Amino acid sequence: MNRSSSVVFLSLGTNIGIKSNNLEQAIEQLKKIPQTIVLQVSKFYKTAAWGKTDQPDFLNAVLSIQTFLDPEVLLTKFVAIELNMGRVRSFHWGPRLIDIDILFYGNLIFKSELLTIPHPELQNRKFVLVPLNEIAPQLMHPVLKKTIAQLINSCPDQLEIVDQNKLIQE
C-alpha cells in the first residue's frame, strides 16, 4: 500500500435501467471504500453510445477521490461494486448497468495486464473529457502533456454531450 494518498479521477457510465440511480448508487458505494474519500462529482451527462452505437444512450459522470490504495487494489474494489450492482460483461462496448474506469491516478504512468493509467482512450472521448473538464480543467495529462481543457479542443469525438440537469429543467 502507498504510504501517501493520491488523487484519482474516475469515469462512471451506465445505459441500462434508471441511469441516474445507477450513478448515484455507484457513488454511494465508492464512498464506502476504506482509506478513500470522494472529493468531487461532476454533473451527469447524457451521450449517445460510443463504439457500438445500436444501444440506449449513456449517462456519464466523472469524480475525483483521494485514496491510500494502490491502483490494482482500487480496480478490484471497482469491479466488486460493478458486480454487486449487477453488471454483466456480455461483449466489448456493450450495454452496462455501471462501468467504473480509472482515468488518472495522480501523475502515475502505469501498465499491467489488467490496467493502463492514464486511461489510454480518454483523450478521444467527450463523455469523459466534458465532465472531467468541469471538475479539473487544468489537470495535466502526464503522457500527452496537455490540460483537460486543451484535450477537449483537439478531441475527435463528434458525439453530442448534454448536461442532464438541463434536460430535467426543460
Judge contact between 27 and 13, C-beta under 8 A.
no
The residue annotated as part of the active site, out of 57, 99, 157, 163, is 99
The residue annotated as part of the active site, out of 3, 54, 57, 101, is 101
The residue annotated as part of the active site, out of 70, 87, 89, 125, is 87
Q: Residue 139: which of 166, 91, 106 has the closest Cα?
A: 106
87 catalytically annotated:
yes
Residues 131 and 136: their CA atoms lie apart, in Å, by 9
Cell of 145: 502533456
Cell of 151: 484535450
163 catalytically annotated:
no
101 catalytically annotated:
yes
| Alpha carbon distance, N-terminus to C-terminus of the chain | 47
Q: Residue 13: which of 146, 141, 131, 144 has the closest Cα?
A: 131
99 catalytically annotated:
yes
The residue annotated as part of the active site, out of 3, 54, 70, 96, is 96
> Among all residues, which ones are annotated catalytic?
87, 96, 99, 101
